[in-house]
Amino acid sequence: MTPKYDEPIPEHVAQYLARVALAHIPASVYETLLSLTPEELAVLERVGMSFKESEFESHSWMYVIH
């Protein structure tokens, strides 16, 4: 089965995925994410997609951002 990323996922699945994804991040990062506006989240998503499309390995992203 090929995922259809343009279709919404059920709310209970979204809540589960959010809990799993956020379970091990530092509290300060979690609080910052919660404070972002929809526009800021869109920019963050675009930056993440740009890194995925780049030649950088994921472990190098933090170095590049700093």
List pLDDT tens digits, range 4-45. 778 899 999 999 998 998 898 999 988 998 999 999 999 989
In a domain, 2, yes or no: no
**In this structure, what DSSP letter does residue 36 have?**
-
For 18, 48, 57, the CA distances from 27, given in Å and listed in that order, are 14, 21, 25
List pLDDT tens digits, range 43-56. 989 988 887 787 76
For 8, 22, 32, 42, 44, the CA distances from 50, given in Å and listed in that order, are 23, 22, 21, 12, 10
Q: How many domains does the chain have?
A: 1
What pTM does this model have? 0.57
Residue 58 banded pLDDT, cuts 50, 70, 90: low
Domain of residue 56 covers 28-66
In a domain, 8, yes or no: no
In a domain, 7, yes or no: no
